[in-house]
Amino acid sequence: GCTCARQDLLPAEDGEETTKHFLQELVNILLAYISKSLKRSSKVLDFHYPHQLMEGLEGFNTLKYGVKTGKNKSSTIFHQLSDGLDIIGVAGEWLTSTARMFLYVYRFTYEISPVFILMEEVVLRKMHSIIGWPEEDGDGIFCPGNNTMSNLYSVLLARFHLFPAVKTHGMSVIPRLALFTSEHSHYSIKKSAAVLGIGSENVIFLSVRGKMISSELNSSIVAGLVPFYVSATAGTTVCGTFDPLNEIVDICEHHGLLLSNKHCVKLQGIERAHSVTWNPHKMMGIPLQCSIILVKRKGLLQECNQLCAEYLFQPDKHYDVSYDTGDKSIQCGRHIDVFKLYKKVVLWHREAPLFLRVCVLFQPEHSNTYKVNFFCCVFSNPATQREDVDFLIDEIACLACEL
C-alpha cells in the first residue's frame, strides 16, 4: 500500500508521481468495493455495534462496514428508494469532487462556477417541461440533503407568496396559519411547520388508508386558522399511493391555497401545482445527494430569500447577474449536484414502471386479523432479478412459521 505522507502530495514540489500513486491505489480500492458489492455471495451488511466500530475505525474500513445497496443477487435489499448502483452517477460524483479544486464546487455566482450554473439551468428547464410548465418560465434550485430541505423551501415560498411581510417583520404580523397534507406524506412537512414557526400542531392531516381525500380537504377549514398550503404526494413513502392531484388543485384554487406536489396517468394535474419537489437520488438512481425544488412562478425564490449582500452579489457586473443563483437559496453556496444528473435528464424518456413498491402482509395460520405489521418492498434496484423476489417471499414465509 501507499505509505506517503500528506506533505508529499500535490501541491508539494515534485509531488505529482506520489499523488498519482496515491490516487490510483484509492481508485483500485473503490473498484474492488464496487465489484465485491455486485457479487451475489457478498453480505448486504457486516453489522457491528457502535462501540465495536469505534475501537477500530479506519478510513478504508468505512466501505467494509457500510450497507451495500447497489448489489446484484444480494440486491435482496428492498429497503430504500435509493437502492441500486448508477455507475455514470458515481463517475459524476468523482468528477465533481475533483473539479472542486479548480472550479469551486460550492457555487453561488456565475463568475466562480459558470459551467455548472449553466448545466443547472438546462436541467431545471428540462424538468419544467417534463412537469408540463413552459421551459422559459418557472424557477428552481438544488437543495442539500433529501426532500426535507426541498419541502421546507416549498412551505417557505408559499408563506412568503401570500404574506410577504413575514420576511422582514416575522410571524407576529400574519394570522395563525394551517397547512394540509396526507397522514402518509413525508414527515418533513410537519418538520417544516415546526422550523418555520407555524407549529407542528397546525398541520392538518387528511387521508384514509394513506391517500388524501379531496372532499375532506374541502370541509376542513378549521376555525381560527388561515389555510395557506396543501402538500399532495405522488407516491407516499410507505404505501406508494397517489393523491388525486386535479381534485385537490380545484379546491386549492377555490380557497386561494398554494399547492406543492412532492416528487402519465398517476401525475395528471401536476402541471397545476405551484411547486414540485423532485428527488432524483431516489427512483432515478442518482447517487445521494440530489434533491430539487421546482417553482412555477419565476422570481419567487429570489424575492423570498435574497438579501443582496454586496460583497458577493454586486448588481453592476459585466454579465447577466440572474445567473448568480446563490442569493435565491437559503444557504448561499451549494454543493454541485447537477453534474451526475445532467446526462440522465437531458436524455429523459418516459418509459418506466408505474409502481416501485409492493406491500406484503404475511397472514399467520389460524389468524383472523390483518392488524399486523407488513413488509414494504421497494423495487428501485435495476439489478434485482425474479429469483431475488422468490427468495424474499420464501424467507418471509419460512421465518414467520418459526415464530
Read off the pLDDT of residues 271-327 as tens digits, 9 standing for 90 and up: 999 999 999 988 788 888 999 999 999 999 999 999 999 988 999 999 999 999 999
Which three cell numbers mark 280? Answer: 432524483
Q: Which residues touch 95 (CB under 8 Å, ≥6 apart)?
A: 339
User: Residue with C-alpha cell 393523491?
Assistant: 243
CATH number of 147-278: 3.40.640.10
Beta-sheet pairing, 375-378 with 357-360: antiparallel
Please check the confidence at residue 104 and state whether its pLDDT lies above 60.
Answer: no
Report the distance separating Cα 173 and Cα 165, nearest Å. 7
Kindly list the distances between the CA atom of residue 368 and the CA atoms of 225, 262, 298, 363, 398, in Å, as whole numbers in the listed order: 43, 37, 55, 8, 20
Q: What distance in Å separates the CA atoms of residue 144 and residue 128, rounded to the nearest whole number?
A: 20
Band (pLDDT 50/70/90 cuts) for residue 72 is very low
Q: What pLDDT, in 10s, does the model give residues 172-183?
A: 999 999 999 988
User: And the C-alpha cell for 271?
Assistant: 402541471
Q: Taking all residues of the chain, what is their mean pLDDT, rounded to a whole number?
A: 83
Is the pLDDT at 343 greater than 50, yes or no? yes
Comparison of pLDDT for 136 and 221, the residue scoring more: 136
Separation between Cα atoms, residue 340 and residue 331, nearest integer Å:
21
CA atoms within 13 A on the CB side of 2: 19
Q: What's the pLDDT score for residue 70? A: 47
Query: Can you spell out the DSSP letters for 139-203?
Result: EEEEESSSHHHHHHHHHHHHHHHH-TTHHHH-GGGSPPEEEEE-TTS-THHHHHHHHTTS-GGGE
Strand ranges in 334-389 using DSSP code E only, listed in sequence order: 357-360, 375-378
Confidence tier at 73 by pLDDT (50, 70, 90):
very low
Q: Where are the alpha helices (DSSP H) in 46-86?
A: 50-55, 61-64
User: Is the whole-model pTM more than 0.75?
Assistant: yes
Is the model's pLDDT at 44 over the cut of 70? yes
Q: Is 108 exposed, middle or buried (0-12, 13-18, 19+ CB in 10 A)?
A: buried
Alpha carbons 18 and 12: distance in angstroms, whole number: 10
By mean pLDDT, which of 51-60, 189-198, 385-394 is the weakest? 51-60
Instruction: Report yes or no: 151 and 260 within 8 Å, Cβ to Cβ.
Output: yes
Which one, of 281, 354, 248, 294, lies nearest residue 130 by Cα? 294
User: Which residue intervals of the chain bear CATH 3.40.640.10?
Assistant: 147-278
CA torsion angle 104 108 113 116 (round to 10): 110
pLDDT for residue 388:
85
Are 326 and 309 in contact by the 8 Å Cβ rule? The answer is no
Determine contact, residues 257/274, Cβ cutoff 8 Å.
no
The CA-based diameter of the chain, rounded to the nearest angstrom, is 77
Element (H, E) at 295: strand 291-295
